[in-house]
Amino acid sequence: MTGQNQKIVVMIPTFNEAENIQSLIREIIALPLSGDLHVLVVDDSSPDGTGDLVQKAAAADPRVHLLVRKKRRGRGAAGIDGFKAALALGADVIVEMDGDFSHQPRFIPALLGEMGRCDVAIGSRFVRGGADSDRSLIRRAITWLVRRFIRRRFRTSIRDVSSGFRCFSRGVLERLDPDDLISSGPSIVLEILYKLILMDASIHEVPIVFIDRKRGRTKLSGLTLLETLLMTLKFRRLDP
Ligand SMILES: Nc1nc2c(ncn2[C@@H]2O[C@H](COP(=O)(O)OP(=O)(O)OP(=O)(O)O)[C@@H](O)[C@H]2O)c(=O)[nH]1
Ligand SMILES: [Mg+2]
């Protein structure tokens, strides 16, 4: 569905992205898209003032929305609240992406363009035309190991299982039921994918070029990574 009237909500969870968020919002809003495009930032009261910057942008442009959460409760919980808020805004399609430019707005039109043919479009580094080239060898090695583990565990041939740059139809997100997700951290990306696979949702991959963040700092630590992998064991509760 790519009609003039469809409402597109781009949902971005943020924590300390003051150096990125204004230019990111500007780039998204400037995309040549048909449809009613909105940006929703879900900020966990970032101490660097990310929320204030988004608030200013929202005051100047009704297409920009800010959801402030009182304290930092994690990427996963923010995503869940963000999806619910996007549905409440009346979104027909929902794009989720990071707020650090690793997910480049220029790929949003291709994700949206795929939506007539599937329930979920994943921005993928590992299909023809995709790339994950400018990250360090160690980061790429971690992604490779996680990917191997998850593809086996989820019994899926999807290539970019850990991509958090994705587009969902309203219907599939409602069926997914954001309230039923248990991940508070980054494992949310994997939990949603697993649920989608179990739901037999139609999932397509669209090539994206992932770039390393240029500004601001990563929130991913070795501990978070370990927690993320351990969480996937809990997803067994979803098994039929
Ligand atoms: N609301 C909210 N957003 C978060 C939280 N932790 C991370 N984020 C956001 O989630 C997105 C991904 O976080 P990153 O720190 O970039 O983690 P990453 O992309 O896995 O790691 P890098 O590749 O090093 O950037 C970014 O937009 C962050 O600002 C959180 O606790 N709450
Ligand atoms: Mg990042």
Q: How far is the CA of 228 from the centre of ligand 1 (A)?
A: 13
Atom 25 of ligand 1, residue of closest alpha carbon: 218
| pLDDT average, residue stretch 104-123 | 98
* pLDDT value for 170: 98
**pLDDT tens profile 84-104:** 999 999 999 999 999 999 999
**pLDDT tens profile 29-81:** 999 998 899 999 999 999 999 999 999 999 999 999 999 999 778 999 999 99
* pLDDT value for 223: 87
Atom 28 of ligand 1, residue of closest alpha carbon: 14
Atom 7 of ligand 1, residue of closest alpha carbon: 75
Q: Which domains does the chain have, with CATH numbers?
A: 7-238 (3.90.550.10)
User: Quick one: tokens of 141?
Assistant: 């090695």
* pLDDT value for 218: 83
User: Quick one: tokens of 112?
Assistant: 């949206």
pLDDT over 60 (residue 197): yes
Burial class (CB in 10 A: 0-12, 13-18, 19+), 105: buried
Name the residue with tokens 């007539």: 116
- Which residues neighbour ligand 2 (ion) by CB within 5 Å? 98, 100, 102, 213
Looking at the CA of 135, name the nearest ligand. Answer: 1
Using CB distances shorter than 6 Å, the residues near ligand 1 are 13-15, 17, 42-44, 72, 74-75, 78, 98-100, 102, 186, 213, 218-220
Q: How far is the CA of 213 from the centre of ligand 2 (A)?
A: 6
* Cβ–Cβ < 8 Å for 196, 119: yes
Give me the sheet containing 36-43, strands edge to edge: 64-68, 36-43, 7-14, 93-96, 166-169, 120-124, 203-207
Kind of pairing between the strands at 166-169 and 93-96: antiparallel
pLDDT over 60 (residue 2): no
User: Candidates 12, 44, 219, 220: which one to mutate for ligand 1, based on the most atoms within 8 Å of Cβ?
Assistant: 219
* Cβ–Cβ < 8 Å for 107, 159: no
